[in-house]
Structure 1
Amino acid sequence: MQVWDGRRPLTDRTITAAHQFSLQGLDYRFVAETVEAPTDWCFREPHHTFVIHRQGTLKTMEIEFERGPSGPCLPRIGDVWVIPAEHRYAALAQGATVGFCEITAPTSVFGTRGLTPRVGYRDVFLHRLVDRLAGQLTQSGPIAALFRQSLADTTRLHIAEHYGERPARPQRAGRTLDQRTQTAIVDYLNSELDHRIDLDALAGIAQMPVSRFLTAFAAAFATTPHQLLIDLRIQRAKALLATTGVTITEIGTQVGFSTPSHFATCFKQRVGVSPTAYRDSI
């Protein structure tokens, strides 16, 4: 089964528990869901959506994200997915029982600022906030209500400050990434091949806001950060295939691919042959 693209019915969902409420202009939905069978998770909403993975593990998850990363991506507890308003996001997941919190925020929370799509983004503070809020759901009385309001206030402020794209500082027109910065970016990516891209860290190397950095990056490398990371992973894999006896599965894991099939697919797309055929030809 492929990620949902509108050409088949959506799968049924087995939600075992759900609690929904609104606080301080944000809507919260705490969900427990069984995903023993392949399950579709799809979004395309008029508001921004934040999904915080709280419990459980998945065996597989493939995603397709408009203007965001796509492919295999397994969430860890505490990972955050950021789905901007009107962006299409579809995932096909399978595992056991998982728990997550969905926060929906009106676009007005960010004013005129945009929102960058993210998957698997580590935000320990936001994770702790929603866990504390979940622990207060069954509490009653004025003190518990005040505490929930305080947590919700802090969550709203954190989301607005941390996730909204910052206005670009006045700079010379046509600012680009110089050769030194390009080298630093490639060095950083080579050191992080087995990790997910941190756009904030990359933009920090160039001392640019994320929105301007992505434009300058495309001008310098003629691709996206995600695609360049894949290219660097394949380069490292080719070197390991040529110079070591490490198994193909282990090489795929070492260079950051979550599954052997994803490694094989990306390798063949870029090299023209499978990893096995490439090794045999050397």
Structure 2
Amino acid sequence: MKPRIVVGERSVDSRGMSLRFATERIEQPADWCCHDSSRHLIYVHRHGELRSMETNLDWGPTDRTLPRIGDTWVVPAGVRCTSVVTGDISGFCEISIPENALGEVVHVPRRKHHDPLILQLVTKIRSVAGRDDALARLLLDSAGETLRLLIRDTYTTTPPATESERDTLPPSARESIVEFLETSLETDINLESLAHLAQMSVATFIKAFRGAFHTTPYQFLLDRRIDRAKTLLSSTRLPITEISAAVGFSTPNHFATTFRQRVGLTPRDFRRGR
């Protein structure tokens, strides 16, 4: 993968948030990795068209749909999101927020959530950046505070008081979740169904799951799918395309790419080496 080619960049600080406006050339495949252990990251697609985009998420399945202008990604602190993109020119705004800057709330991960209002606010902030007159300072402060409140209202959740006493998974819930995952590898599993099984909100479940298993639900599920695939490759003569479907991958190519990332070998080479 070639280095990222940034053709324009400006940073603005407002109301405890750092906003980075960047424009990149992406004629060749570019690898976008979004991760910060102590800051929440929000990305707003501002301009440009992408020809392809494959996103791998800590909290959900691989996504290949193309974004629209105004689409927003929310990557909570400690969570990882990576994308391989191609196109011509892409402009985005990265909003970086310290983990506790918005109070005792939990950021809920989102992908391609269309939000015209957040686009308008970051566009206004960008338009007054660099000016030092009184009106510009007032506009920057006002738009920044509105943006901060919008993010808190739209992309966070406050666990009810009853849930604050139970943000861990008891042994019985862990067993039920593991059993459910092991018997449902070929299905489309979502966070809502897992949280319902644990009788928690999605936000509380993400925190509790990470505390119990030291990983995210999606990465845990992915590990199980790869383990099952290794067993099937070693002990059966099933075609690789059938194994791909049997362990829940949407396409054989996605299966082969993920397997190689995790194991260091393609499924075919793994089978040959056993």
TM-score range, shorter chain: 0.5 to 0.7
Q: Which residue is 1:118 aligned to?
A: 110
Residues 267/94 of structure 1: CA separation in 2 closer, same or farther (3 Å cut): closer
Give structure 2 stretches of 5+ with no counterpart: 167-189, 208-216, 222-248, 257-274
CA RMSD of aligned residues (A): 3.7
Question: Quick one: distance in 2 between partners of 1:119 and 1:165?
Answer: 16
Pairing of 1:213-232 with structure 2 (within 5 A) = none
Three-state SS of the structure 2 residue aligned to 1:109 is coil
Farther off after superposition, 132-141 or 52-61? 132-141
Q: Which residue is 2:21 aligned to?
A: 30
Q: Which residue is 1:44 aligned to?
A: 35
Pairing of 1:161-200 with structure 2 (within 5 A) = 161-168=153-160, 170=162
Instruction: Quote how far apart the aligned CAs of 1:267 are.
Output: 11
Question: Quick one: distance in 2 between partners of 1:113 and 1:213?
Answer: 14
Residues 1:13 and 2:4 are matched in the alignment: yes
Identity over the aligned pairs, expressed in percent? 30
Three-state SS of the structure 2 residue aligned to 1:110 is coil
Question: Quick one: distance in 2 between partners of 1:108 and 1:39?
Answer: 31
Question: Quick one: distance in 2 between partners of 1:34 and 1:84?
Answer: 26
Pairing of 1:62-81 with structure 2 (within 5 A) = 62-81=54-73
Q: TM-score, structure 2 length as denominator?
A: 0.60
Q: Which residue is 1:159 aligned to?
A: 151
Three-state SS of the structure 2 residue aligned to 1:151 is helix
Amino acid across the alignment from 1:88: R
Q: Which residue is 2:85 aligned to?
A: 93
Question: Quick one: distance in 2 between partners of 1:31 and 1:41?
Answer: 13
Instruction: Quote how far apart the aligned CAs of 1:169 are.
Output: 6.3
Question: Quick one: distance in 2 between partners of 1:77 and 1:125?
Answer: 12
Residues 159/267 of structure 1: CA separation in 2 closer, same or farther (3 Å cut): closer
**Paired residues, what number?**
194
Instruction: Quote how far apart the aligned CAs of 1:51 are.
Output: 0.3
CA contact (8 A) 2:159 2:204 kept: no
CA contact (8 A) 1:69 1:119 kept: no
Q: TM-score, structure 1 length as denominator?
A: 0.58
1:61 alignment partner, one of 53, 68, 80: 53
CA contact (8 A) 2:52 2:85 kept: yes
Q: Which residue is 2:135 aligned to?
A: 143
Q: Which residue is 2:94 aligned to?
A: 102
CA contact (8 A) 1:27 1:104 kept: yes
Residues 263/209 of structure 1: CA separation in 2 closer, same or farther (3 Å cut): closer
Question: Quick one: distance in 1 between partners of 2:39 and 2:100?
Answer: 9
Three-state SS of the structure 2 residue aligned to 1:108 is coil
CA contact (8 A) 1:165 1:209 kept: no
Three-state SS of the structure 2 residue aligned to 1:129 is helix
Amino acid across the alignment from 1:25: G
Amino acid across the alignment from 2:55: I
Amino acid across the alignment from 2:100: S
Q: 1:28-75: per-residue Cα shift (whole Å, max 9, x none)?
A: 100111100000101221210000000011011111111234231321
CA contact (8 A) 1:81 1:119 kept: yes
Residues 267/42 of structure 1: CA separation in 2 closer, same or farther (3 Å cut): closer
